[in-house]
Chains A and B, each alone.
Chain A
Amino acid sequence: EAGVTQFPSHSVIEKGQTVTLRCDPISGHDNLYWYRRVMGKEIKFLLHFVKESKQDESGMPNNRFLAERTGGTYSTLKVQPAELEDSGVYFCASSQEVGSAYEQYFGPGTRLTVT
């Protein structure tokens, strides 16, 4: 079974540009999460989808970030316009169900550098 995949693995953009990150969860996983780790800080939650609906977007830093999951399959996270402080590693995770018994499986991450 394929794991969570993310694209691209690396992205280098200039301040003010737009970047779109993609996440493909494990097949059949209704729950999809975005997290990010900025330099020197802990991994922080951004948002949680259940199928195509946003269940919790309390971690989204500001309105420059837009996450979508049309059709309840893959998800995109768009940053527009990007700022220097957006640099970091963006992880996607998925789980079959919710609850502590259901592991969140993480993708390899997208390393975003804003210059």
Chain B
Amino acid sequence: RKEVEQDPGPFNVPEGATVAFNCTYSNSASQSFFWYRQDCRKEPKLLMSVYSSGNEDGRFTAQLNRASQYISLLIRDSKLSDSATYLCVARTGGAQKLVFGQGTRLTINP
């Protein structure tokens, strides 16, 4: 079983739509969580950290549910430039290595 699991998609949604991704993690010792964005043949870039209280950054909202061990990302009013692969990432306390999910591919259509 993968430590971080995501639906690989692809998700194809029209511009302006709201789209949500979930991911689950199996290691209950995981303490920090992140969403990274990766454009085709580029490096991963941090989109946002995820906190238990939930956090919002513009059109993006991230949520963490520790009891159910899942993380979500909501994108509102999607733009063409949001097309990318979204990587769910966990980090176990005490360790610095990042554990990645396989990524969810999103395509926003005009």
Interface residues of A (CB under 8 A from B): 4, 31, 33, 35, 41-45, 48, 55-56, 58-59, 91, 95, 98, 100, 103-104, 106-109
Contact = CB atoms under 8 A, between A and B. Distances in A.
B86 to A, nearest CB: 13
A27 to B, nearest CB: 18
A42 B100 CA distance: 6
Nearest to A3: B43
A59 B96 CA distance: 12
Nearest to A104: B98
Interface of B: 2, 4, 31-32, 42-46, 49, 87, 91, 95-103
A85 to B, nearest CB: 18
A106 B41 CA distance: 13
25 contacts: A31-B96, A33-B98, A35-B98, A41-B102, A42-B100, A42-B101, A42-B102, A42-B103, A43-B100, A44-B100, A45-B97, A45-B98, A45-B99, A48-B96, A48-B97, A56-B96, A56-B97, A59-B97, A91-B43, A91-B44, A95-B96, A100-B31, A100-B91, A106-B45, A107-B43
Enumerate the 4 nearest inter-chain pairs by beta-carbon distance, A residue then B residue, closest first.
Answer: A100-B32, A45-B97, A106-B43, A43-B100
User: Majority SS of interface residues in chain A?
Assistant: loop
Contacts of A56: 95-97
Given A31-B96, A100-B32, A43 B43 contact: no
Contacts of A41: 102
Contacts of A59: 97
A41 B32 CA distance: 22
